[in-house]
Amino acid sequence: MGSLLVAVALLGVFWVSWRREPRRLRLGVYLVLAAWFALGALLQLTRDLWPTDGVWALLPLLPVPLTVLALAGFLVANGLTMVRKEGRSLGNLLSLVVGVALVAAPVVAIVLLRTHDGPFIAVAVFAFFVCVQLGASFAAFLAYTLAYRRVRPGDADAAAVVVLGSGLVRGQVPRLLAGRLDRAVTEWRRLRALGFSTPLVPSGGQGPDEPRAEGDAMGDYLTDRGIPASDVVVEDAARTTEENLELSVALLRDRGREGRLTVVTSGYHAPRAALISRRLGMDAVVLGAPTARYFVPSAYLREFVAVLTYHPWLHLLLVAPSAAFAVLLARAY
């Protein structure tokens, strides 16, 4: 009963925090902890109703390894699809590498443990704790992103609808970027139907392999689809998401428009873009555009890795006890 009450309390904290500010990664932590305590309550109920001894008592935990194996298989299959459709770049290989690592890690750990050698055992134990920490962090990030998907722009006016660039292909807007622009046009038309004169800001600079700035190509895409040129404010210098937001705000401020932004990007990128907008102190809601399903896992993993870099000292602090325990274990052997 105690675990269930804690789970309910955590859900209450999540709800209050989400209503106040949905752009917080801690929301995912609240949800994961609530699920963990709820699972604890369920396991306690299982033991009370069906008291068992031995291996049968471990049956409630069986979904954990099965889920890991299913995730590994999915990532490997997705990685092969990415390589076939998008080429062998490092980013496209990410899901394949992670999937293989999920399968190989427990095998390597067992081999190291069977050596009965202190340093090898310490490495295996340390790797185990690091994997647990990364798994918990990923679960929190996933929970946060699922929660953020429920955010809606509302019926209030926006200073602008800002579209984040994602790269051109031979100077033209590719399908991924077109999805963002189409989603932005839908939102722009919705605001116009409500009576607001909201401008569209396509944002993106010129990369080293691009013949022109992304913002210019995006602006042409919008006007080709019936958006008046007077309503398109091109930002053509940004190279990162942070610069997309900061330079767009500066551009709008020069035109006398300030206030809440509606930002449009790909669905997998929207949660991190929302975190960035909050870190920059901006009032913004970030909307996600549909993305080809095969592209999402690799892109989502890259988003997770990027989010890990936002709090490096926190992760080092969390891993320090595991490192200390591994050192003590190596000395004990």
Q: 76-131 pLDDT, tens per residue?
A: 777 787 777 777 776 667 778 877 877 777 777 777 767 767 677 777 777 777 77
Inside any domain, residue 243: yes
In the predicted model, is pLDDT for residue 165 greater than 70?
yes
Phi, psi of 206 (to 5 degrees): -95, 120
Report which of 4, 3, 9 is spatially closest to residue 30, judged by C-alpha positions: 9
Inside any domain, residue 60: no
Q: Token pair of 197, please? A: 């004169």
DSSP 112-171: HHHTT-HHHHHHHHHHHHHHHHHHHHHHHHHHHHHHHTT----SS--SEEEEE----BTT
Beta bridge partners of 288: 265
pLDDT of residue 305: 85
Residues 272 and 258 in one domain: yes
- The secondary structure of residue 235, as a DSSP letter, is B
Inside any domain, residue 280: yes
Pairwise CA distance, residues 144 & 166, whole Å:
23
pLDDT of residue 130: 77
Report which of 168, 278, 256 is spatially closest to residue 212, judged by C-alpha positions: 168
Tell me the average pLDDT of the chain: 84
pLDDT of residue 59: 52
Inside any domain, residue 169: yes
Pairwise CA distance, residues 100 & 102, whole Å:
5
Q: How confident is the model at residue 133 (pLDDT cuts 50, 70, 90)?
A: confident
Query: Average pLDDT for residues 123-143, to the nearest whole number?
Result: 80
CB 224 within 8 A of CB 237: no
Residues 189 and 94 in one domain: no
Number of domains composing the chain: 3
Three-state DSSP at 98 gives: helix
pLDDT of residue 9: 94
Percent pLDDT > 90 in the chain is: 42
Inside any domain, residue 56: no
Count of CB atoms within 10 A of residue 277's CB?
23
Report which of 204, 130, 221, 223 is spatially closest to residue 166, judged by C-alpha positions: 204
Count of CB atoms within 10 A of residue 18's CB?
19
pLDDT of residue 103: 76
pLDDT of residue 47: 65
Pairwise CA distance, residues 306 & 304, whole Å:
5
Query: Average pLDDT for residues 30-43, to the nearest whole number?
Result: 82
Inside any domain, residue 58: no
Q: How confident is the model at residue 265 (pLDDT cuts 50, 70, 90)?
A: very high
Q: How confident is the model at residue 31 (pLDDT cuts 50, 70, 90)?
A: very high
Least confident of 86-90, 146-150, 169-173, 316-320: 86-90
Residues 230 and 269 in one domain: yes
Residues 165 and 144 in one domain: no
Residues 141 and 241 in one domain: no
Pairwise CA distance, residues 327 & 331, whole Å:
6
pLDDT of residue 223: 95
> Which domain range does residue 24 map to?
1-51
